[in-house]
């Protein structure tokens, strides 16, 4: 899953990130409410872990604004307050579940799986463009039945393009979705990864699927 952790205690945020990455999840971090809204606006997440006590804009208001934007991304709220009125306020703001600090990592994972199963938008079990197939569940990619082996970043890049097949995606949108927003990624890094993915997907193929749209970005489509 692609997850957003919004937690101002940086040590805790980093520990959650490490644990989730060991479970093969992709994790972005935000340390305040406004950064969380920017992440949620620019990227698609399978779930958001949202602390209530945040500087500037608290988690309750962040949840409200996310829901006002028509986003139905599942939200697991973290709170140090276990009073019923506080919990009700979080759920009324749009959270799907809550977890009171301190908590065990095992319970955290279970709650996260539960809210993520509810999902925001049904996703196809398998993506296809021409004879190129990508299965998000098994992370298997094939073309004409021949398996293609991709690194985690290459896989995220290809999946992002295939979910928008036929549409031109800007370079900045790709960078923001494939890499964490707190990472500095230069455009030539994107170009290098596009070349790598092309070399595996389009190599020795008469029909090229990944196309450059000069001055804008990239698209994946049949000609």
Phi (first) and psi of residue 24, to 5 degrees: 70, 30
Q: CA 16: distance to chain centroid?
A: 16
pLDDT for 210 equals 97
To the nearest 10 degrees (0 to 180), the angle between helices 187-201 and 152-162 is 80
> Are the beta carbons of 4 and 40 closer than 8 angstroms?
yes
Q: 21 or 90: whose pLDDT is higher?
A: 21
Classified by CATH at the fold level, domain 2-118 comes out as: Rossmann fold (3.40.50)
Q: What's the CA gap between 97 and 126, in Å, rounded?
A: 29
Please provide the average confidence, as pLDDT, over all residues in the chain: 87
pLDDT tens digits for 169-186? 888 888 878 876 556 777
Determine if the peptide bond prior to 102 is cis (ω within 30°). yes
pLDDT tens digits for 1-27? 889 999 999 999 999 999 999 988 889
Q: What's the CA gap between 92 and 77, in Å, rounded?
A: 12
Q: How confident is the model at residue 119 (pLDDT cuts 50, 70, 90)?
A: low
The β-bridge relationship of strands 26-30 and 2-6 is parallel
Q: What would be the CATH architecture of the domain defined by 127-220?
A: Orthogonal Bundle (1.10)
To the nearest 10 degrees (0 to 180), the angle between helices 84-93 and 59-68 is 30
Q: pTM for the whole thing?
A: 0.56
Each domain of the chain, given as residue ranges in start order, spans 2-118, 127-220
pLDDT for 67 equals 87
pLDDT tens digits for 20-68? 999 888 899 999 998 898 888 777 788 999 999 898 889 999 999 988 8
| Secondary structure E strands in the chain | 2-6, 26-30, 47-51, 75-79, 97-100, 127-129, 132-135, 140-143, 146-148, 169-170, 210-213, 217-220
């Amino acid at each position: 899953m692609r997850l957003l952790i919004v937690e101002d205690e940086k040590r805790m945020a980093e520990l959650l990130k490490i644990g989730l990455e060991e479970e093969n999840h992709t994790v972005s971090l935000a340390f305040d409410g406004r950064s969380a809204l920017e992440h949620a606006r620019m990227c698609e997440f399978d779930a958001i872990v949202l602390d209530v006590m945040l500087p500037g804009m608290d988690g309750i208001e962040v949840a409200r604004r996310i829901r006002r934007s028509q986003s139905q991304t599942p939200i697991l709220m973290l709170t140090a307050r276990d009073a019923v009125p506080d919990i009700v306020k979080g759920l009324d703001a749009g959270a799907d579940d809550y977890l009171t600090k301190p908590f065990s990592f095992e319970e955290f994972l279970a709650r996260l799986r539960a809210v993520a199963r509810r999902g925001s938008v049904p996703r196809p079990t398998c993506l296809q463009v021409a004879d190129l197939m990508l299965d998000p569940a098994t992370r298997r990619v094939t073309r004409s039945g021949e398996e293609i082996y991709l690194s985690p970043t290459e896989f995220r890049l290809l999946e992002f393009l295939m979910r928008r097949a036929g549409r031109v995606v800007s370079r900045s949108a790709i960078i923001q979705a494939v890499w964490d927003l707190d990472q500095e990624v230069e455009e030539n890094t994107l170009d290098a990864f596009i070349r790598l993915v092309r070399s595996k997907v389009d190599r020795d193929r008469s029909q090229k699927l990944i196309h450059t749209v000069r001055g804008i970005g990239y698209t994946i489509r049949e000609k």
